[in-house]
Amino acid sequence: MNKRKLGESGLEVSAIGLGCMRMTFGDAPIGTHQQMVSFLHSSVERGVTFFDTAEVYGPFTNELLLGEALEPFKGKVVIATKFGFDPDDEGNLRPGKTNSRPERIKQVAEESLKRLRVEAIDLFYQHRPDPMVPVEDVAGAVKELIKEGKVKHFGLSESDAATIRRAHAVQPVAAVQSEYSLWWRNVEADVLPTCAELGIGFVPYSPLGRGYLTGKVDESTTFDSSDIRSKNPRFTPEAIKANRAVIDLLERIAREKSGTPAQIALAWLLAQKPWIVPIPGSRKLERLDENLGAASVELTASDLLQIDQALSQIAVVGDRY
């Protein structure tokens, strides 16, 4: 697996990372704990060195899983985790309620260090902007954690360009994580140019459009009530059928490249910038192997132009959420 550097931070990771949320949280069925530990071990054996988690996934259980599974590879892998949500009186995190006050950030860091079984958090993202806390205060809190040796790199997730600039002025931002794929390209307007200007890496989550860009979802596909796609506007039977033109395009190029639609979608992201590192989620080895195979798919300038021209003629149906 080739390596990439996330911008000018010096943080080097595998060209394709692994989003780990669904290993403990989200749509059913989820594999057993031991199955997921074995899967993570297999990921490392295949060259994956970049793993994405968050305290809110579970909550807490995802970090615990990664801490156990990746402890034997300490120093050889990079684990990114996130802060930014508020617990209730019983300690349960509330995904809809943000809390990025400096004292909360420092508390989360201490707890995540224990769950991840590491001496320092490799990449510590603010999970979502907090309208009640200036981002300068957020960056300042992480800066102190970096000085204390508890955090190595600072990241932001789903932040706009202006917020990225304000944070970066206080503490250099190593990476920005946001949704980005062939069918969700809003970050191209100002976030990606800002990252390019400031030397910040970019980490696309949902790079396969929550599975749609694999070509394995059609209008007859049903989703368990625990699956976020069961309530997603882009996964109604009508939207799935209407968006089929995107899959037709990917399948056509995949045939030319002896690949799969998923590999073309990931290769397209890799071809956008050398500091982009997608983190598709997976829980099955065959899917992992397929995704990692995208790193070997070569898309020429002509291929990319062809894809862009075709996409410009396709109106994607359905909101992101």
The enclosing domain of 41 has a CATH number of 3.20.20.100
Q: Are 195 and 275 in contact (CB under 8 A)?
A: yes
Q: Report if residue 220 sits inside a domain.
A: no
Q: Report if residue 261 sits inside a domain.
A: no
Q: Are 53 and 21 in contact (CB under 8 A)?
A: yes
Please report which confidence band the pLDDT of residue 236 belongs to, taking 50, 70 and 90 as the band edges.
confident
Please report which confidence band the pLDDT of residue 318 belongs to, taking 50, 70 and 90 as the band edges.
low
**Portion of the chain with pLDDT greater than 70, in percent:** 96
pLDDT in tens, 118-175: 999 999 999 999 999 999 999 999 999 999 999 999 999 999 999 999 999 999 999 9
Angstrom distance (rounded) from CA 90 to CA 95: 15
Q: Report if residue 256 sits inside a domain.
A: no
| CB-count exposure of residue 243 (10 Å: 0-12, 13-18, 19+) | buried
Q: Are 126 and 83 in contact (CB under 8 A)?
A: yes
Q: C-alpha 306: how far from its chain's center? A: 26
- Pairing, β 151-157 against β 121-126: parallel
Q: Which of 97-106, 225-234, 235-244, 246-255 has the lowest mean pLDDT?
A: 225-234
Taking the alpha carbons of 295, 296, 301, 305 in that order, is the dihedral positive or negative? negative
Residue with tokens 């033109």: 245
| CB-count exposure of residue 263 (10 Å: 0-12, 13-18, 19+) | buried
Average pLDDT for 33-45: 97
DSSP letter for 120, please.
Answer: S
Angle at 158 between CA 146 and CA 133, to 5 degrees: 60
Count of other CB atoms within 10 angstroms of residue 237: 12
Q: How many domains does the chain have?
A: 1
- The model carries a pTM of 0.94
Q: Are 234 and 243 in contact (CB under 8 A)?
A: yes
The predicted pLDDT at position 53 comes to 98
Query: What would the two tokens of residue 227 be?
Result: 């699956």
The predicted pLDDT at position 183 comes to 87
Q: C-alpha 44: how far from its chain's center? A: 17
The predicted pLDDT at position 95 comes to 75
Catalytic, 125? Answer no
Per the structure, the complete domain to which residue 94 belongs is given by 3-209+269-297
Q: Report if residue 234 sits inside a domain.
A: no
Q: Report if residue 229 sits inside a domain.
A: no
pLDDT of 317 over the 80 cut: no
Active-site hit among 57, 180, 205, 212: 57
pLDDT of 220 over the 70 cut: no
**Buried b or exposed e, range 130-145, using 16+ CB within 10 angstroms:** beebebebbbbbbebb
Please report which confidence band the pLDDT of residue 229 belongs to, taking 50, 70 and 90 as the band edges.
confident
The predicted pLDDT at position 321 comes to 63
